[in-house]
Amino acid sequence: MATDPEFLNHALDLFSDLGRIRTGRMFGGTSLYVDDAMFAVIFGDALYMKADKPLAAEYAGAGSQPFQYDTKSGIRTIPGLTSLPDSAMDDPDEALFWARKSLIPAQKAAAKRAKSK
């Protein structure tokens, strides 16, 4: 599902205080990066944040859901991506709160990838 340009602009506005955000393509969506750390992905009109297991639990406590998609063998869940809480979609301060939390596992993953190269 292609990313809605207006939704992408909204997400970029929400996270503008993080600094320069680079975008990329990811499985038909748009990934958001700070430096080499992918901290969020947009699929259609949904925004998913990078999360490790403890952070995913925090997101779940705020009402977030992990990214899921249908396959021939059933629904596949990607626990490392979880939706931004609805309350943060229109609150830049809350969105930044979550984005800063998501940057931690995103930066760890980026460092691990860089080390393995």
91 vs 85: CA distance, rounded Å: 10
Domain regions of the chain by residue span = 5-116
19 vs 34: CA distance, rounded Å: 7
Architecture of domain 5-116: 2-Layer Sandwich (3.30)
pLDDT at site 113? 84
User: Average pLDDT for residues 92-107, to the nearest whole number?
Assistant: 96
Write down the pTM of the prediction.
0.91
User: Average pLDDT for residues 24-45, to the nearest whole number?
Assistant: 91
Work out the pLDDT band at 27, boundaries 50, 70, 90: confident
Amino acid present at 33: Y
